[in-house]
Amino acid sequence: MADEVERVGRRRRRKRRTTNLRAESTYVPNLLTYARIAAIPFILYFIDNYSPVRSFVAMLIYLGAALTDSLDGYIARKYKQISVLGKFLDPLADKLMVSSVLVYLTAMDRVPAWLTVALLAREFAVTGLRSIATTEGLVISASDSGKQKTAFQLIGTLFLLIHFRYPLWGYKMIIDYHAVGIITLYLALAMSWISALDYFLKFVRAVQAAGKTEEKSDPGPGAAT
C-alpha cells in the first residue's frame, strides 16, 4: 500500500513538473531568449569583409539581441516570471551568441585566434566553477569587474562587426572601427581574467567557510550523546 502511494506521488510530481515547463516555455522572458538564439545565424550570415552595409546590419541584429538580454531579466523580475527554464536558457543563449560571433569573426580574420581562445577559456572556467558552487549550495556574488568585462566585450564586438572606417559625425576625423574594437576586446580580456580570479578567490573562501560550518555542526565521535 505504501509503495503504491509513493508511485502515485511520483507520477503526480512528474506531471506537475511537465506542466510547469510547458507554462514556463511561453513566458515573455523565455520568448525573448528564444529570439536571441534565433538571431545568431542571421548575425553570422550578414558578417561580410567586403560589404559595409551587410556588416552594419549584422551589428544592428547583434545589438538588438544583446538588448533582449537586459529586457528579459527586467520583465522576469517585474512580472515574477523567473523560471527554471529561463535560468537554463538565458546563460546558454548568451554564451552561444558570444562564442558563435567570436569564432566567426576569427574565421573572417577580424579577431586574433589567441584572443578568442583566451576569452572563451575564461567563460568555460567560470561556468565550471559556477556549476560546482551551485551543486554545493554556495552563493557567490557577481563582481564589478565581471560586469565591466561584459560591457567591454559587447562594445568591442559591436565595433568589430561594423569593421570599416567611418568619419566621426560632425568632424573630419576618421574612426577605424576594427582597430577600436580590437583594443576594446583587449580591455575585455583583462577584465575577464581579473573577474575570473576574483570569482575563484570567492569560491575558495566560500568552500572554506562551508567546511568550518560543517565542523562546528559536527560534534565528532568523542562528543557526549
The DSSP result for 2-35, as a single string, is HHHHHHHHHHHHHHHHHHHHHHHTTSHHHHHHHH
> 70 and 120 in one domain?
no
Within a domain: 217? no
Q: How many domains does the chain have?
A: 2
> 83 and 28 in one domain?
yes
Within a domain: 201? yes
Number of H helices, E strands in the chain: 7, 2
CA distances from 78 to 20, 82, 181, 208, 213 (A): 19, 9, 34, 35, 35
> 128 and 74 in one domain?
no
Cβ atoms of 30 and 83 within 8 Å: the answer is yes
Within a domain: 58? yes
Within a domain: 49? yes
| Residue-level pLDDT, tens digit, the chain, 225 residues | 555 545 544 555 554 555 587 888 889 899 999 999 999 999 999 999 999 999 999 999 999 999 998 898 889 888 888 888 888 888 889 889 999 999 999 999 999 999 999 999 998 888 888 888 878 787 777 677 777 888 999 999 999 999 999 988 778 889 999 999 999 999 999 999 999 898 888 888 888 887 777 667 665 555 554
Given 73, 98, 123, the domain boundary residue is: 98
> 114 and 88 in one domain?
no
CB atoms within 10 A of CB 132: 11
Within a domain: 6? no
> 199 and 139 in one domain?
yes
pLDDT of 8? 46
> 147 and 84 in one domain?
no
Q: Which domain holds residue 86?
A: 16-98
pLDDT of 5? 46
